[in-house]
Amino acid sequence: MEVRWEEAGARVLLPAPLRLSDTLMCGQAFRWSVAGEGEFCGVVGQQAVRLRQETDGFFISPCTPETFEGLWRGYFDLDFDYAACESALCADEVMGGMAAACRGLHLLNQPVWECLLSFLVSANNNIGRIRGSMEALAKMSGTALEGGVYALPTPAQLGAFSEAQLRACGLGYRAPYVQETARAVADGFALGALAELPYEEAKRKLMTLKGVGEKVADCVLLFSCGHREAFPVDVWVERAMRRVYPALQGDRKAIGAFARQTYGSYAGLAQQYLFHYLRNLEKEGQHA
């Protein structure tokens, strides 16, 4: 990887492609939007940025050496060996074609609180409504950033909002879950420690929070805590797994265990390849 600094930002050159459209728009994060052909704008923490896809990498603006090293390098998972992962998954007769087709899709390493809030809001929801709710919550925080966008509320800010205010942001029945979990985090629930715990222990701890079930916990552990063996299973993923593994037995918990046993530390990326590949096929009216 090479970073070339320009007045407007940073040009990140990569030995293997990172496809921004697949990475940002595949349901990992909900504060990115398309800004033009190959261009995306988004907010992460206190940073509002614009990205542009390039053949040998991507351009990010604004960006300083400090924000690149402190946020973006880790956020875009730029130090992970995706070539080795792809090689391992391509050797699997089920996952091989999907891994090859999804080359350039990276896992995001998001701020834990923002990821947890996103997936609490995502429960039994669609992407359009999730994005709308996240933007409404950000505006309610009042923390304005450059470009007319807003940072998400902190746990303390969010916990101070009334249930009625949260429902007005489109949270519906999720409002009390979000409120109670925000207050638990503000009171000292150690989100930052989850990355250091073994996967099963981190998952059990996370599921003590209101509204956090198996799928939400796995999403948070995969997309913000570095637990690459996490394999989130919802209705769609369950259906997809049974489609590609017709003999698969058991409930969603058993499906996750099967994926971890089959793909090990690559299970989370396998889940993203499966989800993205089959969803694109359905959009195109094709069949795997």
- Residues noted as catalytic: 215
3-state helix, strand and coil shares in percent for the chain, rounded to the nearest 5: 50, 15, 35
The H or E element spanning position 49 is: strand 47-54
Q: Following DSSP, what letter does each residue of 115-169 receive, concatenated?
A: HHHHHHHHTT--HHHHHHHHHHHHHHHT-EETTTEEPPPPHHHHHHS-HHHHHHT
Q: What is the phi/psi pair of residue 40, to 5°?
A: -140, 145
**Lookup result for tokens 């995706």:** 82
Q: Locate tokens 């990276």: which residue?
A: 106
**Cα-flanking dihedrals φ and ψ of residue 259, to 5°?**
-65, -40
Which two tokens mark 90?
């391509």
Dist. CA 30–CA 55, nearest whole Å: 25
Residue 17 CB neighbours (<10 A)? 18
| Cβ atoms of residues 259 and 232 within 8 Å | no
Pairing outcome for strands 149-150 and 144-145: antiparallel
Which residues touch 271 (CB under 8 Å, ≥6 apart)?
222, 231, 232, 237, 259
